[in-house]
A = this chain, B = another copy of it.
Amino acid sequence: MTAASVVSKTVHPFDKAQLDTLLTSRFFFAPAFEIYGGVAGLYDYGPPGSALQANILDVWRKHFIIEENMLEVDTTIMTPSAVFETSGHVAKFADWMVKDVETGEVLRADHLVEGVLEARLKGDKEARGVAEEAATEDKDAKKKKKKVKSTAVELDDTVVAAYNTILAQIDNYTGAELGAIIREHDIKNPDTNNAVSEPVQFNLMFDSSIGPTGKLKGYLRPETAQGHFVNFNRLLGFNNGRLPFASAQIGRSFRNEISPRAGLLRVREFTMAEVEHFVDPENKKHARFDEVKQIKARLLPKDVQMQGRTEISEITIGEAVEKKIIDNETLGYFVGRIHLFLLQIGIDPDRLRFRQHMPNEMAHYAADCWDAEIQSSYGWIECVGCADRSAYDLSVHSKRTGQALVASQVLAEPIVTERAVADYNKKTFGKTFGRDMPAILEALNKYNDEELMKLKGELDAGTSSITLEDGRSFNLTKDLLTVERKTFKQSVREFTPNVIEPSFGIGRILYSLLEHSYWRREQDIARGVLSFPTCVAPTKVLLVPISANTAFVPLIREISSKLRAAGISARVDDSSATIGKRYSRNDELGTPYGITIDFASVSKNTVTLRERDTTDQRIGPVDEVIAVVADLVQGTISWPEACNRLPAYDGVQDVD
């Protein structure tokens, strides 16, 4: 039980505007280059946002890399064009955009369709007098759609049905299909009421030029994955040639979004954490699958979505793999691990689901894909992708570069095969056929086993002949060549590994967590509280001297230094604001514990300890309070257990 769970956080309805103000004023994050007017889709993290991100990444590193001994890599962002030509990103990593025919404004085609149709459906409901649905409507609507004002106009029932069908499959359309929908349903730019052009592709990679010649084109990576793939042979070598193994990378990626909105959820530069788990395609079992198979992750399979429905399958991961809803154990294992990770950092399990990609929606490299989607005020947002990239990437890089990117397996039992082999007589063959020899040998090489056996029979009987592609025929005899059946023993199997890829958008997870952690106290709705789990809280402890009296300075220094030695991040707030205001400010920063230093601290060496969610205050000797805080931060005890070690402080009303 986390400390947060002992209080109700839903006393007051979610107030997005208040949260936004809190996040900017406390500098969790803010638009980048704001003093220059900002740039859409670029955000900077301030001190609490940076610390929150660093802590999420720290939990991620322990949960994935250290727990499973993954091989961490750090590869470059700048990538020569050839790599993304091979991976398919130059041709296919694009969105469909349309232009306003009058103003030239650029819009994302799918967002335009979605925004306009949803506004019409809303207008229809208004006209019919149907109450607006609750904010938890089950669509990832607000994240994408262009904001469109609705007008109360009733629609035909058949039109409503058609719109709903389109919206349920909005991620599933080609550019031509989006163009047809735009024409059929007379969709215009809602800002200008002008028509829009046919959809054209816009590649989402930022490009640049490497070196001074202007001849070597580079792209900023849109994912870290290719950096793992091009290093596959070195990684396999580092792992002593053994499979399965996983590499992992935390790093920045870039996507030149057409018209980013929705804050941290759709940005042009972002931190990712990616795992590439390399596995034998013939054995996608996972050694630790038992540890996750009982988990009931909330699954939304593709078949359900293809019918325009969105209800969740409430089954275990074990059952989902058994029924082939999830393709294999390794994919299922990572779905389970992702689920556990997100819960550990504080994501609300009721606002988390795993949605399977529909066929047209799948990335060009993927064989199966499950997105961990998290619900926020923007709807259901993809925060983690868990894709089976099959052998796609290693195969294409190997083909393009001519380098083998394979693993090998020593077979327990060698595979023994028998087949016919033709042996030609080097002396006579050349003399007989002269310049035609290479063409004849090439034609012979194409014979299959059956053809070779037929040839053998004819040669044994006396003579045979071979016909080239150009129609010329040549006689063959036993003096020229012989055919024998031979036995082959294969003791090593070579194969291209498949890749299972859990890929985390850290900014999206971080923003979702901010919404899930945010609530307001009944007695003080003007200020928010961010109830982060202690493991990700930007600062663990606030030190608050009751006044600016210099008598407190040595004790503050002592406690700071002891907390630092215990590896606990703490901040001192010795500003002139009241204790209550200082605590409120730190509730906004999500600091779980506060230590107050007053005159009793100086005379009796006691301090009080405040818990953020309950505002409980306890009292005890300095060293015991630090020991309790250390255990709380380590996660070895809960707040109720801490309360068993420290008596309640009865002066609470004086200071809070």
Contact = CB atoms under 8 A, between A and B. Distances in A.
Interface of A: 26-27, 30, 32-36, 39-40, 42-47, 49-51, 53-54, 66-67, 69, 71-80, 82-83, 97, 104, 106, 202, 206-213, 216, 218, 220, 227, 230-231, 233-235, 237-238, 240, 251-252, 254, 256-259, 268-269, 271, 397, 401, 403, 405, 564, 569, 571, 575
26 contacts: A27-B235, A27-B237, A30-B231, A30-B234, A32-B76, A35-B230, A35-B403, A35-B405, A42-B78, A43-B76, A44-B73, A45-B75, A46-B71, A46-B231, A47-B235, A49-B74, A50-B73, A54-B72, A76-B269, A78-B269, A106-B213, A206-B209, A208-B208, A208-B220, A211-B257, A220-B220
Q: 3 closest A-B pairs (Cβ-Cβ)?
A: A45-B74, A44-B75, A47-B71
A212 B256 contact: yes
A78 B44 CA distance: 11
Contacts of A238: 26-27, 46-47
Contacts of A80: 33, 36, 39
A226 to B, nearest CB: 9
Nearest to A585: B240
A74 B53 contact: yes
Contacts of A211: 40, 106, 256-259
A67 to B, nearest CB: 8
Contact of A44 (B39, B104, B231, B401): B231
B269 A106 contact: no
B77 A252 contact: yes
A42 B575 CA distance: 47
Contacts of A51: 72
A569 B62 CA distance: 10
Contacts of A69: 571
A320 to B, nearest CB: 29
A44 B271 CA distance: 18
A33 B569 contact: no
Given A106-B213, A212-B256, 18 more contacts: A27-B237, A32-B75, A32-B227, A35-B401, A36-B230, A42-B76, A44-B73, A45-B75, A46-B73, A47-B235, A47-B238, A77-B254, A78-B206, A78-B269, A206-B209, A240-B575, A251-B252, A252-B252
A164 to B, nearest CB: 30
Contact of A210 (B39, B78, B104, B234): B39
A210 B75 contact: no
A40 B212 CA distance: 12
Contacts of A79: 33
Contact of A66 (B53, B257, B569): B569
A53 B75 CA distance: 12
A271 B250 CA distance: 13
Contact of A258 (B40, B66, B78, B212): B212
Nearest to A270: B76
Contacts of A76: 32, 42-44, 269
Nearest to A95: B212
A208 B80 CA distance: 14
A89 to B, nearest CB: 14
A234 B32 contact: no
A517 to B, nearest CB: 19
A271 to B, nearest CB: 8
A298 B211 CA distance: 36
A358 to B, nearest CB: 26
Contacts of A206: 78, 208-210, 218
A73 B45 contact: yes
A54 B62 CA distance: 14
Contacts of A252: 77, 251-252
Contacts of A45: 73-75
Contact of A234 (B46, B237, B258): B46
A428 B39 CA distance: 51
A397 B35 contact: yes
Contact of A78 (B47, B50, B268, B405): B268
Contacts of A575: 240
Contacts of A78: 39, 42, 206, 254, 268-269
Interface centre among A50, A79, A83, A233 (most CB of B within 10 A): A50
Given A50-B74, A78-B206, A268-B78, A106 B230 contact: no
Contacts of A240: 575
A372 to B, nearest CB: 23
A508 to B, nearest CB: 15
Interface centre among A35, A42, A45, A252 (most CB of B within 10 A): A35
Contacts of A212: 97, 106, 202, 256, 258-259
A196 to B, nearest CB: 14
Contacts of A271: 74
A130 B637 CA distance: 73
A259 B216 CA distance: 13
Contacts of A40: 211
B207 A27 contact: no
Contacts of A43: 76
Contacts of A49: 74
